[in-house]
């Protein structure tokens, strides 16, 4: 399972793997402009492949006010 | 995905430009985009002393870092808005950045002046984000005039500006549309020039720059901005951008290109605006700031709330 943590909220979920970053965002109903995805301290492009044991972080980028 | 410039592994892909970059090439790309915005909109020159307004968030700290990297003389200004907990954490990020880079940072505390934003909003019965905007505009300009800065730079990015444009169009706010531009020229000795050098960079690019250059920014959202309409506009634009890459850029830059057509609306409202043109600005009889009205928006707010700055 891929562990996915939202760095802003601290919320963590697990998802079936493997899959690409693009597939992960689609599954979570997130648009690419709203978030960055990191693994092991490195930013990932949308074609990056996530393996079953991976731990990834989602970094929301939209701020308001 | 490979970096389009050097062929190394890419760390970010930018659909709007059909490209992807490794860390180093992305930093070059960001610097180039900011240089282009500064030149295209004639924001400032090498001789100008710039006051960068830093909140502790990704955009303003990234902007400060970029301008320093490009060799501009710029100092920081942080407004501690007096929002319980959040403001202290934001202030720390700005202070730590300044300490690490050895830069000058001025901090103005609303709490110490007796006008914290939540209290001002409550007492004046105005929305928090509107009060916050009035306070920021007032103190950014005041601090710039006091410090002898020619330019005030803010970290507004492409998403901020596209969302603002969408909001202004949805409600046909002609006056706001006429004023929306990446450079607001100075007005005699009353208002300093205001610029938005990140206007060609998306919010995602700005965040990626902060992360890739090791900037420690405040990730949490302002508790007062929950449910802000600007976030809804940004979400709508991001959905559009997902299926039409480049839509945000073309929406915003197309508007800026067509601004001269809107200048008539501005002139009708306030007289011509331009370098050293006073238009119909005058001085607020309470605080001496430039304003279309007397008293100015800031003084009206503090008078209404019964909280005058110390």
A30/B contact by beta carbon, under 8 A: no
Cis peptide before B295 (omega within 30 of 0): yes
Cross-chain Cβ contact B15/A32 below 8 Å = yes
pLDDT, position B278:
47
Q: Which two tokens mark B8?
A: 């190394």
Burial of residue B229, with CB atoms counted within 10 A of its CB: 0-12 exposed, 13-18 middle, 19 or more buried = middle
Q: Is A55 left (phi over 0), alpha (psi -120 to 50) or beta?
A: beta
Report d(CA B267, CA B31) in Å as an integer. 35
Domains of chain A, each with CATH number or no CATH: 2-60 (3.10.20.30)
B34-305 maps to CATH 3.40.50.620: yes
CA distance, residue A14 to nearest chain B CA (Å): 23
pLDDT, position B265:
64
Adjacent-strand bridge partners of B52: B76, B153
Report d(CA B151, CA B246) in Å as an integer. 30
Cross-chain Cβ contact A61/B58 below 8 Å = yes
pLDDT, position B189:
85
Residue numbers in B near A43 (CB within 8 A): 11-12, 208, 211-212
Confidence of residue B283 (pLDDT cuts 50, 70, 90): confident
Give per-residue pLDDT as tens, B58-103: 999 999 999 999 999 999 999 999 999 999 999 999 999 999 999 9
Q: Are B187 and B179 in contact (CB under 8 A)?
A: no
pLDDT, position B303:
94
What is the SS3 assignment for B79? strand
Residue numbers in A near B235 (CB within 8 A): 31, 34, 62
Q: How many CA atoms lie within 13 A of B72 on its CB side?
A: 29
Report d(CA B113, CA B110) in Å as an integer. 5
CA distance, residue A49 to nearest chain B CA (Å): 11
pLDDT, position B139:
97
Report d(CA B185, CA B43) in Å as an integer. 9
B52 vs B188, which has greater pLDDT? B52
Question: Which of A7, A61, A65 lies closest to B204 in CB terms?
Answer: A61
* Average pLDDT over all residues of chain B: 93
Contacts of A38 (CB under 8 A, 6+ apart): A7, A44, A56, A57, A59, B211
A9/B contact by beta carbon, under 8 A: no
Give per-residue pLDDT as tens, B256-269: 998 887 776 666 66
C-alpha pair distances (Å), A56 with each of A17, A24, B215: 12, 10, 20
Residue numbers in B near A59 (CB within 8 A): 207, 211, 219
Question: Which of A32, A35, A45 lies closest to B11 in CB terms?
Answer: A45
Cis peptide before A18 (omega within 30 of 0): yes
Q: Which ipTM value was assigned to this complex? A: 0.97
CA distance, residue B277 to nearest chain A CA (Å): 31
- Nearest one of B193, B194, B108 to B156, comparing CA atoms: B194
């Amino acid at each position: 399972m891929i562990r996915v943590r939202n760095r802003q909220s601290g919320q963590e979920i697990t998802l079936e793997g493997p899959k690409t970053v693009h597939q992960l965002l689609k599954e979570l109903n997130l648009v690419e402009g709203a978030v960055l995805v990191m693994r092991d301290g490195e930013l990932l492009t949308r074609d990056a492949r996530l393996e079953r044991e991976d731990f990834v972080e989602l970094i929301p980028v939209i701020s308001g006010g | 995905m490979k970096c389009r410039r050097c062929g190394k592994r890419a760390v970010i892909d930018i659909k709007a430009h059909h490209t992807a970059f490794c860390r180093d090439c992305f930093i070059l790309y960001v610097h180039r985009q900011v240089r282009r915005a500064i030149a295209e909109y004639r924001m400032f020159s090498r001789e100008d002393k710039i006051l960068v307004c830093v909140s502790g968030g990704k955009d303003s700290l990234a902007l400060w870092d970029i301008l320093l990297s490009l060799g501009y003389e710029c100092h920081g200004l942080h407004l501690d808005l007096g929002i319980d907990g959040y403001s202290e954490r934001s202030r720390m990020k700005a202070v730590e950045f300044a300490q690490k880079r050895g830069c000058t940072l001025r901090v103005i505390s609303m709490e110490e002046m007796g006008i914290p934003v939540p209290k001002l909003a409550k007492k004046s019965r105005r929305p928090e984000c509107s009060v916050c905007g009035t306070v920021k505009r007032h103190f950014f300009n005041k601090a710039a005039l006091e410090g002898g800065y020619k330019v005030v730079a803010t970290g507004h990015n492409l998403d901020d500006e596209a969302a603002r444009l969408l909001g202004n169009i949805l409600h046909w706010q002609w006056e706001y549309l006429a004023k929306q531009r990446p450079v607001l020229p100075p007005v005699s000795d009353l208002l300093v020039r205001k610029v938005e050098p990140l206007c060609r960079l998306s919010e995602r690019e700005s965040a990626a720059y902060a992360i890739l250059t090791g900037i420690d920014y405040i990730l949490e959202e302002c508790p007062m901005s929950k449910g802000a309409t600007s976030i809804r506009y940004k979400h709508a634009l991001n959905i559009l951008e997902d299926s039409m890459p480049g839509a945000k850029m073309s929406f915003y830059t197309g508007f800026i290109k067509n601004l001269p057509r809107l200048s008539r609306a501005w002139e009708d409202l306030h007289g011509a605006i331009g370098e050293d043109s006073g238009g119909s600005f005058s001085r607020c009889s309470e605080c001496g700031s430039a304003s279309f009205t007397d008293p100015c928006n800031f003084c009206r707010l503090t008078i209404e709330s019964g909280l005058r700055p110390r």
